[in-house]
Chain A
Amino acid sequence: MKPFALSRFDLSRCYVNGFHVSFCITASSPLRRPSPWAAGLFAAAFLYNVPLTHGQELPADHHGSPPVTLHFVTWKADHPRAWDEAIQRFEQAHPHVRVKREIAPHSSTAYHDLLTQKLKNRDVSLDLFLMDVIWPAEFAAAGWALPLDAYFPRNEREKFLPATIASGMYRHQIYGVPSRIDSGMLYYRKDLLEKYGLSPPSTWNELVRQAETILEGERIAQPLLRGYSGQFKQYEGLVCDMLEFVGSHNGSFLTADGRRSNLTAPESLLAVRFVREQIIQRLATPAALTYQESESLAVFIQGKAVFHRNWPYAWGLANDPRHSKIVGNVGVTTLPRFSEGKSTSALGGWLYGINAYSQHPDAAWAFIEFMASPALQKYFAIHASLAPSRLALYADPEVLHANPQYKELFPVFQTAQPRPRTPVYPIVSHILQRYFSRVLAFPETDIIEEAREADRKINQFLSLIEDAKK
């Protein structure tokens, strides 16, 4: 049997009685078999120096083997019920494994701080976590995440969107399994654009013109309508939004080799100036400087913005009559570009990872295998509008029925642009956040000056990493 077998999940009968349980352990879970597989696992364990507890890890195939409790540190989900249901299904399929969740804050940064605090202390009671796409380099370099190469071979990885796999790699090893893909996209008010005979904008300048036409026409009827709603608070999301503006103007945060900061390049400076003068000062409300995803989405689904930038999950909420006033009037398309650039969408998303100090790495793997399976990703796509990381699901009629926008957005998912991949990413991000937030919040600041200062600081830390490699 191949080590990676995702086919046998429908084991809902297993928990009915003891006989079925043991049947299920021996025949259905590839991870419980005392087979060549286990040998491979032990080899992997030795290679990566993982503390394995035999008794708990590979229970003998008889009744009374001690159940394994996996500790999964996760965030407060946008769709908690979908997660409850998914985990329940896993526990039904693996009756000897319990998943105990520790719910961390919703914010990526707050979650990161809590999680890394545990990992720094080599907390063995923690088995599983989710990694934002920007963390694997840091987690790998620090030795916190278990390399998954033995569990997750190349031929399996090929079934995922390449950008998501790349985000889990660090120095030729893989540390995470993509749970989904996130990428920035442009939501718009179909009804308003139609009313003014406009089709979705392909350039940023077009977006500005269209928004102003609509605002002008609606001034009396909807005085509170704004042109654009995005995420411009000083936090991680700001980096994503700005990456899209800078990237669609042929700019980049780092040079192509990733060794130097590239913020003073004219392409990048012009894009930043555009955001300050056209987006913040003209189309958005100044309040956008305090908006994260949920606040900016609230503005859009209350019908107070023509255009809105967000991740795929917003689709479901924007079309949910319990939350949204604009159900059925929502369009979604690729983000605009500058006339001399190409549309750029920030890569986001979450990867499942295993604590390098976990006592139950293969039970943890069973969980990941289950959660990242086609069946579960399909479930999340339909019930939580989380865009799958598996390529095949983009041809699945049910997934496409629930998310017709995937058809048009599939190319975006394939080309989504990662944020800098470096173990010092949190530092780089803070410098970027400060830079962007300052030039947007203080209109009198000199963008070049601020960019130069950010360049200098980023280079200082990138060179530290380069030195460490030598």
Chain B
Amino acid sequence: MTQSTQNRTTGRLMVVPALMVVAVFSLYPAMDSFLLSLYSKFPGPERSFVGLGNYLELFHDPVAHQAFVVTLGFVLLSTTLELLLGTGIALVIHERFKGRGWVRAAVLIPWAIPTVVASQMWRFLLNDQYGAVNAILFGDQVDAYVPWLADPWMAFGAIVLADVWKTSSFAGLLILAGLQVIPDETYDAARIDGATAWQRFWHITLPLLKPALLTALLFRTIDAFRVFDLVFVMTQGGPGDATQVLQFYGYKTLFTEGRVGYGTTISVTVFVAIAILSLFYVRTVGTKLMQREPA
């Protein structure tokens, strides 16, 4: 009895440092941000308490609405493409072939490049005067060169493309981990039963891969929701706010305009949106995972 109480006390004590780290670096900033979002604050000394006024304003702000739509479009499009491409990558580098180690390493290169650098690279590639994309597509026909980032839709497409290029391999890596835990015997048995490659993929690989796919989906959605650097470097939200995502709008309000209260409100909103999304995944998808695993 006393033994177990003692154990429990020791256990609690040992958790304290970890809890403190979480409190100082996660809880405190989050709470502080939330408090800030209840104030109206401009550059200058005074600030005034406005309660949920900033949230009301955000709710009626057409610029925020547009940014929300752009962000959502970006999340849906880029996550879908990344999962598709990531599955492809994972299947390829799961096979045994000569030089697989090198290919695996090479696939990860885009992911290893800092996003700011990658964004800058894409900006150069898509340049209307000297961009490699134009050179490859049109060669000497200089008059056919397209200013990719000048058109609202193409600029949006370019941001998605850059993100897909950069993070598909990360999705691929997570999915590869899923592939590797599927026992070879399942495939052997299927082969003996006369299943075609397609049937094996559809009835064995895909169902057993679901946990990994969902993990990748979770990570990618959260990440895509927070997209900032691609937009900052490639388009600055333009043309005509066509690529302005929520985080960039928040940055502009907070850092350039100095509207600390409202800018924080945008960040908190993104935070809450991601939190809800994660909870949703963990609740619905997560429990399904748990049920599936023993099977």
Contacts and interface: CB of A to CB of B under 8 A. Distances in A.
A391 interface: no
A434 B256 contact: no
Contact of B128 (A138, A285, A426, A464): A285
B147 A112 contact: no
A329 interface: no
A285 B252 CA distance: 28
Contact of A233 (B238, B242, B252): B238
A77 interface: no
B255 A113 contact: yes
A290 B239 contact: yes
Contacts of B258: 116, 120, 138, 142, 426
B120 interface: no
B239 A234 contact: yes
Given A290-B239, A423-B43, A298 B129 contact: yes
B183 interface: no
Given A116-B258, A287-B150, A453-B62, A430 B252 contact: yes
Interface string A216-229: 00000001100000
A453 B66 CA distance: 14
Interface residues of B, number: 30
B176 interface: no
B238 A441 contact: yes
B237 interface: yes
Given A138-B258, A290-B150, A427-B259, A464 B42 contact: yes
A426 B240 CA distance: 17
Contacts of A235: 236, 238
A437 B42 contact: no
B236 A427 contact: no
B165 to A, nearest CB: 20
Nearest to B145: A287
A120 B43 CA distance: 8
A438 B241 CA distance: 7
The size class of the interface chain A forms with chain B is: 35 or more
B223 interface: no
A153 interface: no
A430 B152 CA distance: 18
A299 B237 CA distance: 23
Contacts of A117: 255
A-side binding surface: helix, strand, loop or mixed? helix
Contacts of A286: 147, 150-151
Contact of B149 (A120, A144, A290): A290
Contacts of B238: 233-235, 289-290, 437, 441
B49 to A, nearest CB: 15
A437 B142 CA distance: 26
A95 B63 CA distance: 53
Interface in A408-441: 423-424, 426-427, 430, 434, 437-441
Interface string A233-264: 11100000000000000000000000000000
Contacts of A109: 256
Given A116-B258, A142-B43, A423-B42, A434 B240 contact: yes
Contacts of A113: 255-256
A434 B61 CA distance: 14
Contact of B240 (A234, A287, A299, A464): A234
B150 A288 contact: yes
B114 interface: no
B252 A141 contact: no
Nearest to A236: B256
Interface in A284-327: 285-290, 295, 298-299
Contact of A299 (B46, B63, B129): B129
A441 B44 CA distance: 35
A286 B149 CA distance: 10
B-side binding surface: helix, strand, loop or mixed? loop
Contacts, number: 100
Contacts of B42: 423-424, 464
A441 B149 CA distance: 11
B143 A430 contact: no
A287 B128 contact: yes
Contacts of A141: 43-44
B143 to A, nearest CB: 5
B257 interface: yes
Nearest to A460: B57
B45 interface: yes
A285 B43 CA distance: 39
Nearest to B241: A434
Contact of B147 (A142, A285, A445, A464): A285
Contacts of A144: 43
Contacts of A424: 42, 257
Contacts of B259: 427
A341 interface: no
Interface string A99-126: 0000000000100110011001000000
Contact of B241 (A112, A143, A234, A423): A234
Interface in A123-146: 138, 141-144
A52 B43 CA distance: 25
Nearest to A304: B129
A370 to B, nearest CB: 30
Q: Which of B46, B151, B236, B240 has the most CB of A within 10 A?
A: B240
B44 A142 contact: yes
A288 B239 CA distance: 11
A423 B44 contact: yes
Given A233-B236, A427-B259, 16 more contacts: A109-B256, A141-B44, A142-B45, A224-B143, A234-B235, A285-B128, A285-B147, A289-B147, A289-B150, A289-B238, A298-B129, A299-B129, A437-B240, A441-B239, A442-B152, A468-B44
Interface of B: 42-46, 62-63, 128-129, 142-143, 147, 149-152, 235-242, 252, 255-259
28 contacts: A112-B256, A141-B43, A141-B44, A142-B43, A143-B45, A223-B143, A233-B239, A234-B235, A234-B241, A285-B147, A287-B128, A287-B147, A295-B129, A299-B129, A423-B44, A424-B257, A426-B258, A427-B257, A430-B252, A434-B241, A437-B240, A441-B152, A441-B240, A441-B242, A442-B152, A445-B240, A464-B42, A468-B46
